[in-house]
Amino acid sequence: MTALLELHQACLGERLQRITLTLRADQRVVLLGASGAGKTTLLKLCNGALSPDAGFVHWCGRPHQHLSRRQRRRIGTLWQDLRLVEELSVIQNINSGALGRHGLFWALRNLLAPLDQDTCLGVMRKVNLDADLLQQPVRELSGGQRQRVALGRLLHQQPDLVLADEPLSALDPTLAEEVLNTLLLSPGCLISLHRPDLIHRFDRVLGLRDGALVIDAAPDTILRDQLEWLYAST
Amino acid sequence: MALRIHLKPALPLIPLLPGVSLLGILLVLLRDGHGGGLPLLQQFAAAALQPSIDPAVLGSLLNGLQITLVIAVLSWSISSVLGVGLGVFSACTFWEILAGVRWPAVVLRRCLAPLRAVHELIWGLLLLQVFGLNGWVAVCAISIPYTVLMARVIADQVDCHVSPAIPVLKGAGATPWAVMLTGLAPPLVQPISDHIGHRLDCALRSAVILGVFGLGGLGTDLSLSLRSLQFQEMWSGLWLLAIAMVVLDHLLRRLRSWSRMLMLPVAIASPWVALAWGTHLDLQLALPVGKWFMVFGNLMGGSQGLSAALEISWPGVIGATVWITLIAGCVATGLPPLLMLVWPSRASLCLQGVVWGAFRLIPAPLTALLLLMLAKPSLALAGLALGLHHSGVMGRVLIDDIRSTGFRSAQTLKSCGASPRVCWLYGPLADVSRAYLTYAIYRLDVILRDTAIIGMVGGAGLGWQLMEALSSFHWWLVIWIVMMSAVLTLLGESLGERLQGIWNSRAMAL
Amino acid sequence: MLVRESRAVLATGLVAGLALTASVASCAAPQNDAKQTVLQIGAIPDQNPEKLNRLYGALSEELSDQLDVSVRYSPVSNYAAAVSAFRTGSLDLVWFGGLTGVQARLQTPGARVLAQRDIDAEFTSVFVANGASGLRPFTSADQLVELKGRRLAFGSESSTSGRLMPQYFMGEKGVKPEDLAGGGPGFSGSHDATIAVVQSGAYEVGALNEQVWRSNVADGRVDPDKVSVIWRTPPYVDYHWVVRPGLDDRFGEGFTNKLQSALLELSAETENGEAILELFGAERFIPAKDEDYVMIESVGRQLGKIR
């Protein structure tokens, strides 16, 4: 399997130090680290929202800045703050996941009258959203429903690699389980979590401490002490 | 049910929809187009690069600029302070906390609205009848409509920033004043100080328009240069005005970045500075003495009150006014988001800011004249001229809003692989659409009043009739027209409120 | 945050201090209450500001020398504002157009006409037409009916030569404003702008002051291929000086008469006088009486510009 995402000696100010990392399409990776360890920054480097000061981040062998739209949409992100388009309805938000495959005219039509209802209903079923909510403005939804809409948008994007920033925080256990299951269905993923107890669901564990990558191993080779040290204060 | 929802355009699309009217206007321009005015347009453009540097011209312009600045600062600060006070009094929340009822706020609002319906230019001409040439006439002429407009915005802001803590505080037995101070004031500081800052720019432009009085302001020189088509002299004035606008804007930004709390103290303190400055200028700032009997004597003496109302064919005039206002509103609202979609990048925001600055800088009568150099007069052209001027204001609002909301949403969509245009459409433009539309509705008010200043394009509309009546000193007709515009403003306002209700607008970050 | 707060306090202090200093300064500064002893002159705006400032700067100086009082010129850029300023006493001596002068005198009992230019006794307006309109020079006033259905531009709404008299002569031949294309005339705002809008083709016909037309032709600002005169109105009286009553009480017995003589005695022989007369576009000023403007008044009433 070829490398999808490759970071080489990537630095970003004080926040990240010389990260070298290769992600493959068939790997489910969990990213652990205390708050402030640089997990969000690393994910933003991976999806191109931030650029490294030094070193490089390559997607399929090309630097992020030079990615075509087609390549960029193969990386999907589930943001910690969801980042839904507040002024739009559920279906329009889910459709916005497909904007990478369409042009401006489609985007305008989607604003005038939502498109692809059937596909969206399918997506909503997958993320357990009530079909009645289809036309509801997302502003009026509850926290859990919003989480599902964001997940639906991600699914509709059909990415090869899913990046998720603490997707389970603030979710009740049932919903958290459901969200995690859905995320793990994708071909490859990098998920940052505060839940060391879940590492056995993944193929690979990354540990960040003070901006440095200190753990990169299979879950069954990781010792309890290592995890505790990861969260211990300096 | 489903069908009805299907046809409902989403909120982010609504600011773009008025842009469709540009197609119609383009057709009209093509139909009425003539190239006859190109030499004049060339002269105008060439003069921009070669403004007059005759010392006599520059001296007079600099003196005029100072007078204009003094008037602008005085009227800005007076209207800000009074506007905030009146705004709080006309907020429903205020009365609910104080007395548990809403009606005084509604009554106060409705009473204030007619004051707003009269253009500052008309206020100026009316006050001039009573007080003669005096600096305070210009200051009051700007302050009256600005105070009331400010009061409306502030009242809306107060009502939409109701803190959930208020019932808790009330329950805890706090006095009404304490409730307001803790629950109401803090979230208001930012929007109010932003709006106050924004109004200085407007006050400066109004003071320029008011140079129409013999106060020697920059506006006098500009309008005289325009009348005699002395573009080089005019550009000297326009460049000076542009510099003043940029400097003031920069100062205010600096002030806001220092501390938002400062805006109100500055507004309170600045009139004294302006007054001190004014005494060194050729500006009458002695307390004016009113001569009411002349105006009222005229009214009492005449018995033509009713017959005056029949001199105008109201349906035609009102129709033209509404039509011009609508076209101008569509152009002003639709153009800025369209340009942003055509040119979607953070880097281009600065350049777009310059474009909108230029539109604000060029007074509407000048825009009208320049457009006449390209096309024959029509209502659409009048609307376009007004709309272009106001799109300058709307463009600034849009850019400010987007800057303060940030670009995170565009980034989100970019990482989905959306094209830059789509990123901006679903990102920043969608984020600010609600606030932008709210502001557009306020703007319609101003546009309706501004129909007074473009008689050049066919002499149509209520505003023009008012100028005509004023220049004939036909007081009864003046009263009828002012009343009619007040009614129109109020109707427009309640329509706007209903639209806002449909958009379910709750927060308006201005 | 703390730094910000202390900055804010500092800045508030600065602002307050500045305001205090300024208000003290404003009390100390001389107030403009010497108005009683200053002769305030003004003019309706119909020329470019540079010219107006030069013209009235020179005139103020001349009058000040001749009459031994201080003279102050206030520019006014709106016809109606000039009338109101005259009525309320903000202006003592104003250079009015025919219509505005009558309006001002009717509103200010006791005001009188002092003088006019030699050319004002027989002033004329011209109708100019764009070549593409197909209008050819009229041989008689009857041909004014050809203006029906045309796009026509006047100048300012209160202008005698750019609106009132042309509209009157059109009315004489049965051409009402409603007969024009677009349901009424356009108002370009000034004589120069009228030429521009007609020359460009935006309007087919325009009416303006003949003096302005001639000076534009002389300066080469008119393209004779595109715009030409199609008709000249019969002569009427126009611009004149109007003075407020009560100047004798303020400046001394016989002041108004002295003022009149000072204006009439301006001659091209003195350097200052030559400059002033040249800027006015006249050889000299001649006496004028209120009665000269009766015709303008009746036209004004007929067209609803005087109530």
Full DSSP string of chain C: -HHHHHHHHHHHHHHHHHHHHHHHHHHHSPPS-GGGGEEEEEE---S-HHHHHHHHHHHHHHHHHHH-SEEEE-----HHHHHHHHHTTS-SEEEE-HHHHHHHHHHSTT-EEEEEEGGGGGB-EEEEEEGGGT----SSGGGGGGGTTS-EEES-TT-IIIIIHHHHHHHHTT--GGGSGGGS-EE-SSHHHHHHHHHHTSSSEEEEEHHHHHHHHHTT-S-TTTEEEEEEPPPB---EEEE-TTHHHHH-TTHHHHHHHHHHT--TTSHHHHHHHHHHT-S-EEE--GGGGHHHHHHHHHTTS--
* Domain presence at residue B39: no
Instruction: Please state the rounded mean pLDDT for residues A111-127.
Output: 88
Measured CA to CA, the distance from residue B71 to residue B367 in angstroms comes to 24
Q: Are residues B374 and B274 in the same domain?
A: no
Q: Which amino acid is at B172?
A: A
Predicted pLDDT of residue B298: 61
Question: How many whole angstroms separate alpha carbon C197 and alpha carbon B484?
Answer: 31
Query: Residue C157 is nearest to which of B219, B265, B468, comparing CB atoms?
Result: B468
d(CA B418, CA B412): 9
Quickly tell me which residue has 């040439």 as its tokens: B133
- Residue C91 shares a structural domain with residue C227: no
CB pairs under 8 A between B and C: 251
Residue C176 and residue C141 share a domain? yes
The closest CB to that of C18, out of B54, B269, B458, belongs to: B269
Q: Tell which phi-psi region holds residue B506, choosing left (phi > 0), alpha (psi between -120 and 50) or beta.
A: alpha
* Complex prediction ipTM: 0.83
Rg of chain A on CA atoms, in Å: 18
Q: What is the DSSP string of B155-216?
A: HHHHHHT--THHHHHHHTT--HHHHIIIIIHHHHHHHHHHHHHHHHHHHHHHHHHGGGSTT-
Dihedral pair phi/psi, residue C204, rounded to 5°: -85, -35
What gap in Å lies between CA C86 and CA C90, rounded to an integer? 6
pLDDT tens figures, B10-27 = 888 888 888 888 999 999
Closest approach of C74 to chain B, Cα-based (Å): 6
Per-residue pLDDT averaged across C199-215, rounded?
Answer: 92
Q: Is B430 on the interface with A (CB under 8 A)?
A: yes
Q: Which chains touch A (3 or more CB pairs under 8 A)?
A: B
Could you give the CA distance from residue A170 to residue A22 in angstroms, rounded to a whole number?
30
Q: Report which of B327, B317, B338 is spatially closest to residue B390, judged by C-alpha positions.
A: B327
**pLDDT tens digits along C121-180:** 999 999 999 988 888 999 999 999 999 999 999 988 889 999 999 999 999 999 998 899
CA distance A191 to A193: 6
CATH number of the structural domain spanning residue B344: 1.10.3720.10
C253, C116: one domain: yes
Q: Residue C145 falls within a domain, yes or no?
A: yes
B239 and B354 both lie in a single domain: no
CB B473 within 8 Å of CB B366: no
The residue segments making up the domain with residue B357 are: 291-510
pLDDT over threshold 90, residue C299: yes
Q: Is the pair C, B in contact (3+ CB pairs within 8 Å)?
A: yes
- For residue B160, is it within any domain? yes
Would you say the C-alpha torsion C186, C191, C195, C196 has a positive or negative sign?
A: negative
CATH 3.40.50.300 residue window(s) in chain A: 1-74+159-234
Query: Do residues B106 and B70 share a domain?
Result: yes
What sign does the dihedral B63-B64-B67-B72 (CA atoms) show?
negative
For residue C261, what pLDDT is reported?
Answer: 92
Question: Looking at the predicted structure, is the pLDDT value of residue B263 above 80?
Answer: no
- pLDDT for B35: 78
| Same domain for B442 and B377 | yes
Select the residue of A72, A74, A107 nearest B425 (Cβ to Cβ): A107
CA C306 and chain centroid, separation: 17
Mind listing the pLDDT tens digit for each residue in C105-115? 998 899 999 99
Residue C19 inside a domain? The answer is no
**Structural domain contains residue B30:** no
Structural contact between residues B411 and B448, judged by C-beta atoms closer than 8 angstroms: no
Domain count, chain C: 2
- How long is chain C? 307
CB-based contact (8 Å) between C268 and chain B? no
Residues B424 and B312 reside in one and the same domain: yes
- Chain B hits for A140, Cβ within 8 Å: none
The answer to whether residues C73 and C113 belong to one domain is yes
Total domains in the fold of chain B: 2
pLDDT at C105: 94
| Each residue's pLDDT tens digit, B118-150 | 778 778 878 887 887 788 888 898 899 899 988
Sheet containing A188-192: order of strands: A75-78, A161-165, A188-192, A28-32, A204-209, A212-217
Q: Is residue B34 part of a domain?
A: no
Q: Who has greater pLDDT, B187 or B85? A: B85
Per-residue model confidence (pLDDT) at position B267:
81
**pLDDT above 50 for A41:** yes
- Contact C50/B57, CB-based, under 8 Å? yes
Looking at chain B from residue 223 to 242, which residues have their Cβ under 8 Å from any Cβ of chain C?
Answer: 223-230, 233
**Closest CB to B34 among C30, C77, C201:** C201
pLDDT of residue B4: 42
What does the pLDDT read at residue C207? Answer: 95
Do C226 and C139 belong together in one domain? yes
Q: Is A88 helix (H, G, I), strand (E, B) or coil?
A: coil
Cβ distance B184 to B163 under 8 Å? Answer: yes
CB-based contact (8 Å) between B376 and chain A?
no
CA distance B358 to B403: 20
Place of tokens 């990776």: A29
Contact B133 C23 (CB under 8 A): no
Asked if residues A45 and A52 have their Cβ atoms less than 8 Å apart, the reply is yes
Closest CA to A13 of A51, A47, A43: A51
* Same domain? B233 vs B307: no
Measure in Å the smallest separation between the Cα of B303 and chain C Cα atoms: 12
Please state whether the predicted TM-score (pTM) of the whole model is above 0.90: no
Do B313 and B417 lie in one domain? The reply is: yes
Q: Among B236, B257, B290, which residue terminates a domain?
A: B290
C111 located within any domain:
yes
In this predicted model, what pLDDT tens digit does every residue of B367-401 receive, in sequence order?
A: 888 888 888 888 888 899 999 999 999 998 899 88
pLDDT value at B211 more than 80: no
Among C35, C106, C192, C200, which would you mutate to test the B interface (most chain B Cβ atoms within 10 Å of its Cβ)?
C200
Last residue in a domain, options B263, B290, B317 = B290
Using CB atoms and an 8 Å cut-off, which of residues 162-201 of chain C contact chain B? 182-190, 192-193, 196-197, 199-201
Provide the pairing of β-strand C205-209 with C152-154.
Answer: parallel
Task: Please tell me the distance in Å from C173's CA to the nearest CA on chain B.
Answer: 22
Written as six digits, the tokens of B102 are 């809403």
Q: Is B284's pLDDT higher than 90?
A: no
Show which residues on chain A lie within 8 Å of chain B, measured between beta carbons: 47-49, 69-77, 79, 83, 85-89, 92, 96-97, 99-104, 107-108, 111-114, 135, 157
Res C126: pLDDT: 96
Maximum average pLDDT range among B99-113, B236-250, B471-485: B236-250
Can you give the pLDDT at residue B466? 83
pLDDT in tens, C217-235: 998 989 998 999 999 999 9
Give the B window 126-165 contacts with A, CB below 8 Å: none
* Average pLDDT value over all residues in chain B: 83
- At C1, the pLDDT band (50, 70, 90 cuts) reads very low
Q: Provide the domain limits for residue C89.
A: 34-121+238-302
Here the tokens at position A166 are: 């603490």
Tell whether C141 and C222 lie within a shared domain.
Answer: yes
Residue A134 has pLDDT above 60, yes or no: yes
CA distance B425 to chain C (A): 36
Tokens (6 digits) for B312:
């105008």
Flag if B316 and C23 touch (Cβ within 8 Å).
no
| Last-in-domain residue among B290, B324, B340 | B290
Reply yes or no on whether the pLDDT at C301 is more than 80: yes
Please indicate, yes or no, whether residues B280 and B407 belong to a single structural domain of this protein: no
CATH number at residue C69: 3.40.190.10
Q: What is the mean pLDDT of residues A9-34?
A: 88
Given the structure tokens 């360890």, which residue do they identify?
A37
Strand ordering across the sheet containing A54-59: A16-24, A3-12, A54-59, A62-63
Residue after which a domain boundary falls, among C232, C266, C286: C232
Mutation site for B-interface testing, chosen from A51, A67, A87, A120 by largest number of B Cβ within 10 Å = A87
Higher pLDDT, B285 or A223: A223
Mean pLDDT of chain A: 87
For residues B178 and B230, state if they share a domain: yes
Residue C18 located in a structural domain:
no
Q: Is residue B499 part of a domain?
A: yes
Residues in CB range of A228: below 8 A, 6 or more apart: none
Which chains does chain B touch, 3 or more C-beta pairs < 8 A? A, C
Q: Is C83 a member of any domain?
A: yes
Identity of the residue in B411, B421, B422 whose CB atom sits nearest the CB atom of A49: B411
- B411 within a domain of the structure (yes/no): yes
Contact B9 A157 (CB under 8 A): no
Q: Is residue B321 part of a domain?
A: yes
The answer to whether C18 contacts chain B (CB < 8 Å) is yes
pLDDT in tens, B151-163: 988 888 888 777 7
Bridge-based pairing state of the strands C93-96 and C240-243: antiparallel
pLDDT-derived band at B212 (thresholds 50, 70, 90) equals: low
| CA–CA distance, B159 with B377 (Å, rounded to integer) | 43
User: Which tops the pLDDT comparison, B464 or C125?
Assistant: C125
**In a shared domain, residues B160 and B281:** yes
**What is the predicted pLDDT for the residue at C71?**
92
Q: Are the beta carbons of C48 and B230 closer than 8 angstroms?
A: yes
Q: pLDDT tens digits, residue range A166-219? A: 888 877 888 888 889 988 888 889 999 888 888 889 999 999 988 899 989 898
What average pLDDT does this structure show over B103-115? Answer: 86
Q: What is the separation of C-alpha B276 from the centre of its chain, rounded to a whole number of angstroms?
A: 28
Which among B377, B370, B324 is positioned nearest to B32, based on CA atoms?
Answer: B377
Which of C209, C232, C255 is the endpoint of a domain?
C232
Please, which pLDDT band fits residue C242 given cuts at 50, 70 and 90?
Answer: very high
Contacts of A103 in chain B (CB under 8 A): 419, 422
Say whether B416 and A73 touch across the interface (CB within 8 A): yes
Look up residue A26 and give its amino acid. Answer: D
Residues of chain C above pLDDT 70, percent: 87
- Show the beta-strand stretches assigned E in A25-106: 28-32, 54-59, 62-63, 75-78
By the 8 A CB rule, do B317 and B455 touch? no
CATH class belonging to A1-74+159-234: alpha beta
Look at residues B458, B203, B194 and name the one whose alpha carbon lies nearest to residue C185.
B458
State how far the Cα of A86 lies from the Cα of A166, in Å rounded to an integer.
21
Domain limit, last residue, from C175, C210, C232: C232
Residues C245 and C199 in one domain: no
Share of chain B above pLDDT 70, in %: 90
Please tell me which residue of chain B has the smallest CA distance to A89: B10
CB pair distance less than 8 Å for B418 and A135: no
C5 to chain B nearest CA, in Å?
A: 8
B436 touches chain A (CB under 8 A): no
**Residues A69, B10: C-beta atoms closer than 8 Å:** no
Lowest-pLDDT choice from B301-305, B460-464, C186-190: B301-305
> Which chain A positions have a beta carbon within 8 Å of B11's beta carbon?
87-88
The pLDDT, as a whole number, for residue C137 is: 92
Q: Which residues pair with A189 in a beta bridge?
A: A28, A162
Which of A87-101, C6-20, C274-288 is the least confident region? C6-20
Strands C285-287 and A54-59: unpaired
Looking at the fold, whether C39 and C51 belong to one and the same domain comes out as: yes
Average pLDDT over residues B202-208: 85
Residue C9: closest CA among chain B residues belongs to which residue? B262
For the segment B339-366, the average pLDDT, to the nearest whole number, is 88
Query: Is chain A in touch with chain C: ≥3 Cβ pairs within 8 A?
Result: no
Which residues of A fall within a CB distance of 8 Å from B9?
Answer: 111-113
